[in-house]
């Protein structure tokens, strides 16, 4: 490569690595695999080494990726949280060993080999043994104050076993089983899946609301003493043992090696047994054990000279894609699954894997009968990386997503702007568990006592098959679920019967119509007055309603055109459910014609409570600021919405001013 081409390629690589680093570190939405990113960084590092005149300060080889997220307080690290230089072969490992020994002028050297945990790096600060602050790595010099979120992690001690001042570094992560469970629940709830466990952990920890972090299965391993003035450690191994004594959850894989051959054996051992680990790793870290030697070796602007990270390549295997079958999830999403000739990848036998959606299949041109390349994404989720097109015989079959639900025969549709094809049958057996949970929820029919486990038990015993069957249950039926359950049964039976008198909007919301939430249900019920009118409404009539777009209108029309829906409504009418909007007397409509945007952290109310109050008084809420916005209610760390409100001249009010408005 000549000098001109090298300069051009370096510029391209800088732009690519900056973009992918932002998606990875700041947005927690990686677009390429770790290995692909590592290869880009390796190419950039090698080119800059060959052409040092093109090195600039903004290159990711010169600084740590990541920035402080808006809404968090900045924390300047007393000791920088540096990253590690990555290597991919043993020759580079021996070169590292020679370089270190030459600098120190020694023949023998001890190293500690540890697993490189795939998570988010943090610093924890303790004063007199009390946890006072925790921060993300950020750019290595300045991180984000996530103290409240870190307090939700059970393996972070709030008080140490000794009253010492100390700063330690650790890695927040989510275990393999917990990650799989999280993604399974997100899929059932129609939420986007996390790409890997690392980004799930990072996204969870970097939430402005600590309750979100608390709801996620975050864990931590501590792997380094950053600062401790009261104790003079001589070795890294000694410091780790002391951290365990203080009560920290220290990285469980830490092996002392006396030479580089032992280091390589341990790296291979970790690689061979990585599938047995309960947490994900993306390599092995090799550190000089002697802390005095570390001071002599020092650091570069980005990486320490006394440590290095060996990265394992992802294991890939070729196998036959025997068939593609479709599964219907609890929310009606129809997911294509690849049925594979069983093959062992990274310690697990893989016989099937998700193909996500029809766009994924078309993008990779996957056909039944293809030879496909499989790897485990993040050491957990198997995926098809590519097709071996050269192995095709001409007998491969192009797959088309079904437009009829394979479970119930109802229409299966793909809405504009969505990747998923979903069944819209209201009585589809695959959907009933989720349907009934939503139907009974507080914002829908509000049936107190009808929890998830009770619904699950009803379904398992065959006592109900759909929503309407709830109204056929007797007190004796319900009492059979529990020993001495008469009181419980009476209360639940009464709650079910009382729900018949609910306002129409609750029933509309409870039906679980795609794209129709409680706010839209209120508007629709208020406009059309009866269930029959709603069922007979055309898309043209529906789009005339405020905030009702074509997608929402089409969802309603398609839903009520289904025979299953008509049968369900007919049964609910038969069982005496109210089908008419209840006229509210003496409504206070002080906010009628006004649109509010609520942003930032509030003290006295949750955002949901504020939005409910606004709607109660006839106003509307929106998620974005525009010229149509009447007020922006801004709490702490309001961010970009507040900025836009000021730019547009929209009136900004505080939480206290809002409280004055509703007195």
Best-predicted range by mean pLDDT among 321-325, 524-528, 600-604? 321-325
The CATH number that domain 424-574 falls under is 1.10.150.20
Backbone torsion region of residue 83, taken as left when φ is above 0, otherwise alpha when ψ lies between -120 and 50, otherwise beta: beta
**What integer pLDDT is reported at residue 588 of this predicted model?**
73
**What integer pLDDT is reported at residue 63 of this predicted model?**
57
**How would you label 569-605 residue by residue, b for 16+ Cβ within 10 Å and e otherwise?**
bebbeeeebbbebeeeeeeeeebeebbbbbbbebeeb
Class of domain 316-398: mainly beta
Assigned fold of 3-54: Helix Hairpins (1.10.287)
380 pLDDT band, cuts 50/70/90, is low
Beta strands in 355-425 (DSSP E): 367-368, 371-377, 381-387, 397-398, 412-413, 421-423
* Dist CA 430 CA 444 (whole Å): 21
Alpha helices in 465-617 (DSSP H): 475-479, 486-498, 504-510, 518-528, 531-536, 539-542, 550-561, 563-574, 607-616
**What integer pLDDT is reported at residue 11 of this predicted model?**
83
pLDDT, mean over the chain:
88
DSSP state of 526: H
Burial label, 188 (beta-carbon count in 10 A; 0-12, 13-18, 19+)? middle
Residue 65: pLDDT over 70: no
Among the listed residues 576, 596, 555, 341, the one whose alpha carbon sits nearest the alpha carbon of residue 471: 576
371-377 vs 381-387, strand pairing mode: antiparallel
Question: What angle (nearest 5°) sits at the alpha carbon of residue 625, between those of residues 623 and 627?
Answer: 135
Superfamily grouping for domain 74-181+191-310: DNA ligase/mRNA capping enzyme (3.30.470.30)
Contact 651/632 with Cβ under 8 angstroms? yes
Instruction: Write out the two tokens for 109.
Output: 């050297």
Q: Where in the chain is the domain with CATH 2.40.50.140?
A: 316-398
* Dist CA 562 CA 557 (whole Å): 9
Q: Where in the chain is the domain with CATH 3.30.470.30?
A: 74-181+191-310
Residues forming a β-bridge with 124: 134, 168
Query: What would the DSSP string read from start to end of 205-225?
Result: HT-SSHHHHHHS--EEEEEEE
Class of domain 595-662: alpha beta
Best-predicted range by mean pLDDT among 49-58, 209-218, 361-370, 639-648? 361-370
Q: Where in the chain is the domain with CATH 1.10.287.610?
A: 3-54
Among the listed residues 117, 116, 167, the one whose alpha carbon sits nearest the alpha carbon of residue 143: 167
Taking residue 238's Cβ as centre, other Cβ atoms within 10 Å add up to 14
* Dist CA 592 CA 252 (whole Å): 60
532 pLDDT band, cuts 50/70/90, is very high
- The average pLDDT across 529-542 equals 94
User: Which helix or strand (DSSP H or E) is residue 122 part of?
Assistant: strand 120-127
Q: Where in the chain is the domain with CATH 3.40.50.10190?
A: 595-662
Q: Please tell me which residue in 116, 254, 311, 431 is annotated as part of the active site.
A: 116
* Dist CA 193 CA 608 (whole Å): 24
**What integer pLDDT is reported at residue 604 of this predicted model?**
79
Whether 608 sits among the annotated catalytic residues: the reply is no
Residue 23: pLDDT over 80: no
Contact 595/630 with Cβ under 8 angstroms? yes
Which of 29-43, 194-208, 229-243, 286-300 has the least mean pLDDT? Answer: 29-43
283-329 pLDDT tens trace: 999 999 999 999 999 998 778 999 999 998 777 889 999 999 998 88
Contact 408/425 with Cβ under 8 angstroms? yes
Which of 244-258, 281-295, 367-381, 440-454 has the least mean pLDDT? Answer: 367-381
Query: What would the DSSP string read from start to end of 262-295?
Result: HHHHHHHHHHHHGGG-SS-EEEEEEEESBHHHHH
Within 13 Å and on the Cβ side, how many CA atoms surround 118? 28
**What integer pLDDT is reported at residue 467 of this predicted model?**
94
Contact 463/477 with Cβ under 8 angstroms? yes
């Amino acid at each position: 490569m000549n000098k001109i081409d090298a300069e051009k390629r370096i510029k391209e690589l800088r732009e690519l690595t900056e973009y992918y680093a932002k998606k990875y570190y700041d947005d927690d939405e990686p677009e390429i695999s770790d290995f692909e990113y590592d290869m880009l960084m390796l190419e950039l590092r090698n080119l800059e080494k060959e052409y040092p005149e093109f090195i600039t300060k903004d290159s990711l080889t010169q600084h740590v990726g990541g920035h402080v997220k808006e809404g968090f307080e900045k924390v300047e690290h007393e000791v920088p949280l540096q990253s590690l230089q990555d290597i991919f072969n043993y020759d580079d490992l021996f070169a590292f060993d020679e370089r270190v020994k030459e600098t120190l002028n020694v023949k023998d050297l001890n190293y500690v080999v540890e697993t490189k945990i795939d998570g988010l790096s943090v610093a924890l600060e303790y004063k007199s043994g009390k946890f006072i602050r925790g921060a993300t790595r950020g750019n290595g010099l300045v991180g984000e104050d996530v103290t409240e979120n870190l307090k939700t992690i059970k393996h972070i001690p709030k008080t140490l076993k000794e009253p010492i001042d100390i700063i330690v570094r650790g890695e927040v992560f989510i275990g393999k089983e917990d990650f799989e469970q999280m993604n399974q629940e997100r899929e059932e709830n129609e939420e986007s899946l996390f790409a890997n466990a690392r980004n799930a952990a990072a996204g969870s920890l970097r939430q402005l609301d600590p309750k979100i972090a608390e709801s996620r299965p975050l864990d931590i391993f501590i792997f380094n003493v950053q600062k401790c003035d009261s104790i003079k450690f001589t070795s890294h191994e000694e410091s780790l043992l002391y951290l365990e004594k203080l009560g920290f959850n220290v990285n469980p894989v830490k092996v002392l090696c006396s030479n580089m051959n032992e280091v390589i054996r341990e790296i291979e051992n970790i690689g061979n047994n990585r599938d047995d680990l309960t947490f994900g790793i993306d390599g092995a870290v090799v550190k000089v054990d002697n802390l005095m030697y570390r001071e002599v070796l020092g650091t570069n602007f980005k990486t320490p000279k006394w440590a290095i990270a060996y990265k394992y390549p992802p294991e890939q295997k070729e196998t036959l894609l025997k068939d593609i079958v479709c599964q219907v999830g609890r929310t009606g999403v129809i997911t294509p699954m690849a049925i594979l000739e069983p093959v062992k990848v990274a310690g697990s036998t893989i016989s099937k894997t998700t193909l996500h959606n029809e766009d994924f299949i078309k993008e990779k041109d996957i056909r039944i009968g293809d030879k496909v390349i499989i790897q485990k994404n993040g050491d957990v989720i198997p995926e098809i990386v590519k097709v071996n097109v050269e192995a095709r015989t001409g007998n491969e079959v192009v797959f088309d997503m079904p437009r009829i639900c394979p479970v119930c025969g109802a229409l299966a549709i793909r809405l504009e702007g969505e990747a998923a094809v979903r069944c819209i049958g209201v009585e589809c057996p695959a959907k009933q568990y989720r349907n009934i949970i939503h139907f009974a929820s507080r914002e829908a029919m509000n049936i107190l006592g009808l929890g998830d486990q009770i619904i699950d038990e009803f379904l398992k015993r065959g006592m109900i098959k759909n929503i309407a069957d709830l109204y056929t249950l007797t007190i004796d039926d319900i009492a059979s679920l529990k020993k001495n359950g008469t009181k419980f049964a009476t209360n639940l039976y009464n709650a079910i019967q009382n729900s018949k008198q609910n306002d129409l909007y609750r029933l509309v919301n409870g039906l679980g119509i795609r794209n129709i939430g409680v706010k839209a249900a209120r508007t629709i019920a208020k406009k059309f007055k009866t269930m029959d009118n709603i069922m007979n409404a055309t898309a043209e009539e529906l789009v005339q309603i405020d905030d009702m777009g074509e997608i929402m209108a089409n969802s309603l029309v398609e839903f009520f055109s289904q025979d299953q829906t008509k049968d369900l409504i007919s049964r609910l009418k038969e069982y005496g459910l109210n089908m008419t909007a209840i006229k509210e007397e003496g409504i206070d409509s002080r906010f009628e014609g006004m649109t509010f945007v609520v942003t930032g952290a509030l003290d006295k109310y949750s955002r949901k409570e504020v939005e409910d109050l606004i709607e109660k008084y006839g106003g509307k809420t929106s998620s974005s600021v525009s010229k149509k916005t009447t007020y922006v209610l801004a709490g702490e760390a309001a961010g970009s919405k507040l900025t836009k409100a000021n730019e547009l001249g929209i009136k900004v009010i505080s939480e206290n001013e809002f409280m004055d408005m509703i007195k």
